[in-house]
Amino acid sequence: MLDPLGDRTLTDLLEERVAANGERTFLVFEDGAGTISELTYRDFDARVERCARGLSQRGVAQGDFVVLHLRNSPEFLIAWFALARLGAVLIPSNVANTVGELEHILSFTSARLAITEPSLLETVDRAITASGNAVSVVVARGTADGRERFEDLLTDDRRAPRPSSLSGSDLAELIFTSGTTRKPKAVMLTHANCIRSGLDAVHCLWLDEGERCLTALPLFHVNGQAMSVLATLTVGGTLVLIEEFRASRFWSQVRAHRATQTCIVAMQLRTLIAQPPDPAERDHQVRRLFYAINVTDEEKTEFEQRFGISLINGYGLSEAMTLLTCAPVVGPRRWPSIGLPSPGRRLLLLDPEGNEVPQGEVGEVVVEGTPGRDIMLGYYRDPEATAGALRGNRMHTGDNAYADEAGYLYFFDRKKDMIKRAGENVSAIEVEGALVSHPGVAEAAVVGVPDAIRDEAVAAIVVAAAPGGLTEEEIVEHCRQHLSKFKVPTVVQFVDELPKTSIGKVRKDVLRRALADAATPSG
């Protein structure tokens, strides 16, 4: 059967655009200081080719794993596509990762090279030492004494060696994502997965070659990769990449760069409407603003009226790279619906026995597709988790939803024990593991509670090993040593015992209710 993706790789996608639009501006980058730089498609491709040659000369070959521990930057993009050209595998690392979290990534994958920047180098060095692996380091976006510079990779202008065989079915990247296990799982995504994600964004948002897609979302997440980078490449548009999101500057950047498309998450929306109004803020060229994770009706209305643009809601996840549903560009959006299935996607709502649920009833969102093309290949080195998520051609998302009479989907809840914090997934089990590693903690449970700005707060309910032997400050500081900043609990409550079922399972519903009641003013 013919496949609409073809047997294409990320290198094919880039080279197609160079052939058609070589002198068009591909990348506009604004760094944290406001300095702006640009690259045409042809210039970008030349840097990718040189980087691939430099990486190859340093021993990177097809199938090797390379960690990028970088903020949004041209270097991130150049290295990503250079690795793809060699058939090597990108591992993007959250720059908020602690030493322990990065050490897990390095040890678990046996990565042979890490590319980072000076301000993040200490964490990388300590993680490498902790892993005990021989990992080379290249420093981009600055210098460090005695370290090889990223620019040194780009000095040889000879053609990089091509793998003897590389297809769309080959592994392109590992995305570490929080889930129901103590350690993050690594989602295996192929070149075909990546190409499909760009097509999904283009088809859902009706993008064309004149787009200027702007993002301040981090490239170590699939949203920034799919909805901005790969969507831009798919139509031959211009990518406007912002190093980091700052609410005080973001909308003026959208206007100044003449962005026609951008994506935001709930935390960004809330911080934007908290900024002082600007009489010129409705003077923009944005046609499509994709949004994920629901806010309140009042927040949605305030944002749309203030900025003069309609939000396009949707839903996706790393395991499907990425967009599964999207509200129609033209036609009713039925807020707070997460929309209709993306073109070519087949979604089912199933009960625990695997039967489709009737209209209006809640079921688990299940995606039908081919592993490695429409959905992930699986979880790297985790056959048990893979078997739990992939059953034949069906991928179980762990998210629940229901559909109305017109087939629009509405997100209900997560079966997975996960907390959504400012667009980041936080595994409750991972945080609980950090808590119980403290010698003064006998038991701990972690739940998400509503947060007016960041979607949910991480709440820790702790049973101390000895009464009065712990303080909230000690708990928080201990977690800071083991977890990324966004995973550290901001609510800590001490209890004598955790509520449990008759078989000893912690009643997290009781804990959430108790925390909500405590936060509600009496009288």
- Is the Cβ–Cβ distance between 251 and 307 less than 8 Å? yes
Rounded to the nearest angstrom, the gap between the alpha carbon of residue 319 and the centroid of all alpha carbons in its chain is: 11
For the purposes of burial, counting CB atoms within 10 Å of the CB of 283, is it exposed (0-12), middle (13-18) or buried (19 or more)?
A: exposed
Q: Which of 240, 239, 422, 410 is nearest to 325 (CA)?
A: 410
Contacts with 107 (C-beta within 8 Å, 6 or more apart), sequence order: 131, 132, 133
Taking the alpha carbons at both ends of the chain, their separation in whole angstroms is 66
- Is the Cβ–Cβ distance between 278 and 67 less than 8 Å? no
φ, ψ dihedrals at 482, nearest 5°: -120, -15
Residues 352 and 381 both lie in one domain: yes
Residues 233 and 335 both lie in one domain: no
Give CA–CA dist 471/190, Å, rounded: 46
Q: Locate tokens 């790969």: which residue?
A: 230
Cis geometry, peptide bond prior to residue 322 (ω within 30 degrees of 0): yes
Residues 359 and 484 both lie in one domain: no
Q: What is the pLDDT along the chain (523 residues), one digit of tens a residue?
A: 557 778 899 999 999 999 999 999 999 999 999 999 999 999 999 999 999 999 999 999 999 999 999 999 999 999 999 999 999 999 999 999 999 999 999 999 999 999 999 999 999 999 999 999 999 999 999 988 889 999 999 999 999 999 989 999 999 999 998 755 567 899 999 999 999 999 999 999 999 999 999 999 999 999 999 999 999 999 999 999 999 999 999 999 999 999 999 999 888 998 999 999 999 999 999 999 999 767 888 889 999 999 999 999 999 999 999 999 999 999 999 999 999 999 999 999 999 999 999 999 999 999 999 999 999 999 999 999 999 999 999 999 999 999 999 999 998 777 767 788 888 888 887 898 889 889 899 889 999 998 888 889 999 999 988 888 799 999 999 999 999 999 999 999 999 988 875 446 688 888 888 887 776 554 4
Give CA–CA dist 455/421, Å, rounded: 6
Q: Locate tokens 């949707």: which residue?
A: 314
Q: Locate tokens 């897609």: which residue?
A: 213
Residues 239 and 367 both lie in one domain: no
Give CA–CA dist 210/218, Å, rounded: 23
Give CA–CA dist 130/103, Å, rounded: 6
Write the single-letter amino acid at 84: A
Give CA–CA dist 57/519, Å, rounded: 59
- Rounded to two decimals, the pTM is 0.87
Q: Which of 398, 388, 267 is nearest to 324 (CA)?
A: 398
Residues 410 and 441 both lie in one domain: no
Asked, for residue 490, whether it belongs to a domain, the answer is yes
Contacts with 505 (C-beta within 8 Å, 6 or more apart), sequence order: none
Asked, for residue 273, whether it belongs to a domain, the answer is no
- Is the Cβ–Cβ distance between 363 and 356 less than 8 Å? yes
Residues 322 and 449 both lie in one domain: no
Query: Which of helix, strand or coil describes residue 134?
Result: coil
Last residue of a domain, one of 388, 416, 444: 416
Query: Which of helix, strand or coil describes residue 354?
Result: coil
User: For residue 519, what pLDDT is reported?
Assistant: 66
- Is the Cβ–Cβ distance between 474 and 492 less than 8 Å? no
Q: How many domains does the chain have?
A: 3
Q: In this structure, what CATH number is given to the domain that contains residue 385?
A: 2.30.38.10
Q: What are the CA-CA distances from residue 127 to residues 124, 298, 364, 388, 485 (Å)?
A: 5, 44, 38, 30, 17
Q: What are the CA-CA distances from residue 273 to residues 251, 281, 301, 410 (Å)?
A: 10, 11, 11, 25
Residues 94 and 222 both lie in one domain: yes
Give CA–CA dist 425/435, Å, rounded: 18
User: For residue 523, what pLDDT is reported?
Assistant: 41
- The Cα angle at residue 65 between residues 180 and 71, in degrees rounded to 5: 75
- Is the Cβ–Cβ distance between 402 and 315 less than 8 Å? no
Q: Locate tokens 């202008």: which residue?
A: 157
Asked, for residue 191, whether it belongs to a domain, the answer is yes
User: For residue 518, what pLDDT is reported?
Assistant: 73
Residues 330 and 365 both lie in one domain: yes
- Is the Cβ–Cβ distance between 146 and 170 less than 8 Å? no
**Would you say how long the chain is, in residues?**
523
Q: What are the CA-CA distances from residue 432 to residues 3, 376, 458, 494 (Å)?
A: 44, 27, 11, 14
Rounded to the nearest angstrom, the gap between the alpha carbon of residue 38 and the centroid of all alpha carbons in its chain is: 25
Residues 394 and 444 both lie in one domain: no
- Is the Cβ–Cβ distance between 466 and 437 less than 8 Å? no
Residues 161 and 125 both lie in one domain: yes
User: For residue 522, what pLDDT is reported?
Assistant: 46
Strands of 36-40's sheet, edge to edge?
A: 36-40, 25-30, 238-242, 212-215, 261-265, 288-292, 311-316, 323-326, 340-341
Asked, for residue 136, whether it belongs to a domain, the answer is yes
Residues 148 and 53 both lie in one domain: yes
Cβ neighbours of 496 (radius 10 Å): 7
Q: In this structure, what CATH number is given to the domain that contains residue 501?
A: 3.30.300.30
Query: Which of helix, strand or coil describes residue 173?
Result: strand
Q: Identify the domain containing residue 473 by its residue range.
A: 425-519
Residues 24 and 62 both lie in one domain: yes
Rounded to the nearest angstrom, the gap between the alpha carbon of residue 345 and the centroid of all alpha carbons in its chain is: 20
pLDDT one-digit tens code per residue, 4-47: 778 899 999 999 999 999 999 999 999 999 999 999 999 999 99
Last residue of a domain, one of 210, 228, 244: 244
Write the single-letter amino acid at 198: G
